[in-house]
Structure 1
């Protein structure tokens, strides 16, 4: 028996970078992904959360998603398993789940009340089981427990951690039971969307703390050791989780920031044979839109701009000026240097001598370009909210957004 899985996550369809929409990049990525699936004869696609960048994705973002799934159903890929992330609306993802199941697309947007209901048994054309998937989405507090009157934040943290451990134990335990009743040679795969202790994230990658205190980083012991592979989402950098080779983050296929553009993005190709896990291979995703961060003094920036113009570059730029600069006239000066080129300046500012970056208010960024979470973060900045309170406030804000998405779904 041979079985090939493709693990990806954190698509963030609908994402915009400093006012620039990225629909064309996502469209190109989906075209590449379909071709890669055909070339590598992928049997199962696993997508571990954050399908969309917002809980209220635009019509175009949803169109890209459903068009991809329609084309996927005509490919060599027999099954797809999709779970919700913290950016996703569980209601929106789950709404067409019954219809998508007819295309062998298995969606778990919201964590089922019974963990066992998150388990999916995938079968081949003859009806024989080929894979058991514990498709656990992003776990919200309300999915796991009820808040007890008078409990402190520390008590809430401890109880939520235990509830998460219990959920994974029940889901994976049921998956292991099903595997044993069918065939011990059938691979057992887990899915999750969370921050595992020791995980790395690029500065400025848009990562948000989802929990307070100890919940910010869960230990890898949250997952049972008998899993043959664990497909994780949430961190945008491809990496191992808990130093275990078969516990992996696939990372995001597109860079979500200029910081993330400093490294390559990819997907993970996971193969099984009659002896179990046979190998994990990285498939590098092409860069569909070049992102360049230029940092240096004015002379360096002038030379780099001239070189890029001669090369006919179409890059989106972040420009950070070091040393003596032009004050508020930096953006206008850079615009003059780019005149007649295909370059696009998205972000400009000065680096302080003591470190950090002061961005010039240049009118590039509009309120409509910002995610609601970014607006809330900036409101906390203006209000000088203490750092120790920010994680709690962001968690409460996420709860409000989730409640709004649920109500919107009910209204529809």
Structure 2
């Protein structure tokens, strides 16, 4: 007998991708996922954060979410949903009581230790096999820590890291006290761990001033299902601490990644194996880095990689980065002339990053549409002298402040969130 858990994360429902909706990709993924729940005899699905792309997702994204929950319940499969840094605590929390009647346990925020029982979910399958899930969402400092005046940046980091570790340990202790050691202990998380590989679509998130959490600080769990990093990977060379990655490519630099979900099998109360189940590519996209004169052959090469997988009338989304386009005034026109006879749609045309940044420093005519706000900030930092310890500390504070402001700009706090924060 085997207890099977499917681990997925970072759906980012409602994402707008250079003006393109991802609704059809997300619909196709959800259909595929529901098929796998039946085909793979899945007992529990875990979504480890970032269900939505913003705290105020469009109505169609909410419809996809609720429709998935209803249909998964019809398959007699339980669902655990934890919030990510993109998700609104208030929005996820408002429906959790209703969704609990459909076998869906939603954890929108980390709770005080005297309320942690709500983060512990005991699940049983049709063969009466059991598992305990310690559902930890994205952690905000106020959830686990009271601020102390006069602390240095390093002391704040150490205190916060210790508080997160203690919060996980408290969850584990509470779960063992309630259900014993005979069934698998599974934890979730939505954070950056030390040493992971990131892509451009992964926004740096700081829990207060803490940039990354050491894997060694996790308590003993049989499996830890993590979200936030969009590339599937093991953490600290372990088999039981894993990021499953996003189900679709959320930035062009993810185009060559094979997207997967993880299936964790538990036998006799212990993890027996973890399988990566490949997700089909529902919308082909590619990044092309070349020179203007070599663009045609570069597109031919990319199209040959997809072969016959392009469906009829489906177009390949392209990000074209040109290393010698800085002197051309009619760059877009030149690209249009080359691509008009190909089954492609060009979503982004840009100069190579090195040229863009150098152009910005030299006050050349670089347009803001070619630069991300991270690139503008990084370029400005590069013009300063960070050679001594005091300057490096200032750079860290500026970076942390910038990330906090950027996060608020992209995920504005709703009235519901403000009211909740005020009452907490």
**TM surpasses 0.5:** yes
Correspondence for 2:88: 89
- Offset at 1:260? 1.1
Within 1, Cα distance between the matches of 2:237 and 2:32?
30
Correspondence for 2:244: 250
Deviations 1:61-103 (A, max 9, x none): 11111111111111142x1111011111111111111111111
Correspondence for 1:208: 204
Q: Tell me if structure 2 keeps the 8 A contact 1:305–1:337.
A: no
- Offset at 1:293? 1.0
Q: Tell me if structure 2 keeps the 8 A contact 1:91–1:110.
A: no
Deviations 1:319-353 (A, max 9, x none): 11234665232222111222254421111122267
Alignment of 1:154-173 (within 5 A): 154-173=154-173
Within 2, Cα distance between the matches of 1:358 and 1:315?
30
Deviates more, 1:398-407 or 1:130-139: 398-407
Correspondence for 1:404: 413
Deviations 1:100-152 (A, max 9, x none): 111110010111122343111113469x5611000011110111122223333
Correspondence for 2:391: none
Aligned partner of residue 154 in structure 2, secondary structure:
helix
Correspondence for 2:52: 52
Q: What RMSD, in angstroms, separates the aligned Cα atoms of the two structures?
A: 3.1
Deviations 1:340-394 (A, max 9, x none): 54421111122267797979978989xxxx9xxx76x577569769753122332
Within 2, Cα distance between the matches of 1:325 and 1:405?
42
Q: Tell me if structure 2 keeps the 8 A contact 1:211–1:392.
A: no
1:273 equivalent in alignment to 2:267:
yes
Within 2, Cα distance between the matches of 1:355 and 1:393?
21
Q: Which runs of 5+ in 2 are unaligned?
A: 385-394
Q: Tell me if structure 1 keeps the 8 A contact 2:122–2:131.
A: yes
Q: Tell me if structure 2 keeps the 8 A contact 1:111–1:143.
A: yes
Q: Tell me if structure 2 keeps the 8 A contact 1:317–1:346.
A: yes
Within 2, Cα distance between the matches of 1:403 and 1:356?
29
Q: Give 2:232's match in structure 1, choosing from 223, 235, 238.
A: 238
Instruction: Give the direction of change, closer, same or farther, for the CA distance of 1:324–1:133 in structure 2 (3 Å limit).
Output: closer
Correspondence for 2:404: 395
1:283 equivalent in alignment to 2:292:
no
Q: Tell me if structure 2 keeps the 8 A contact 1:19–1:364.
A: no
Correspondence for 1:294: 288
- Offset at 1:47? 0.8
Aligned partner of residue 271 in structure 2, secondary structure:
strand
Within 2, Cα distance between the matches of 1:94 and 1:324?
49
Q: Tell me if structure 1 keeps the 8 A contact 2:120–2:132.
A: yes
- Offset at 1:163? 1.2
1:110 equivalent in alignment to 2:106:
no
Aligned partner of residue 92 in structure 2, secondary structure:
helix
Within 2, Cα distance between the matches of 1:157 and 1:350?
38
Within 1, Cα distance between the matches of 2:346 and 2:93?
39
Aligned partner of residue 80 in structure 1, secondary structure:
strand
Aligned partner of residue 261 in structure 2, secondary structure:
strand
Instruction: Give the direction of change, closer, same or farther, for the CA distance of 1:86–1:275 in structure 2 (3 Å limit).
Output: closer
Q: Tell me if structure 2 keeps the 8 A contact 1:346–1:364.
A: no
1:222 equivalent in alignment to 2:217:
yes
- Offset at 1:161? 1.4
Q: Tell me if structure 2 keeps the 8 A contact 1:229–1:247.
A: yes
Alignment of 1:9-408 (within 5 A): 9-77=9-77, 79-114=78-113, 115-124=116-125, 130-180=130-180, 184-202=181-199, 204-211=200-207, 215-225=210-220, 227-274=221-268, 276-305=270-299, 308=303, 314-323=315-324, 327-351=328-352, 377=374, 380=377, 387-388=395-396, 389-395=398-404, 398=407, 404-405=413-414, 407=416
TM-score w.r.t. structure 2 length? Answer: 0.84
- Offset at 1:185? 2.9
Q: Which runs of 5+ in 1 are unaligned?
A: none
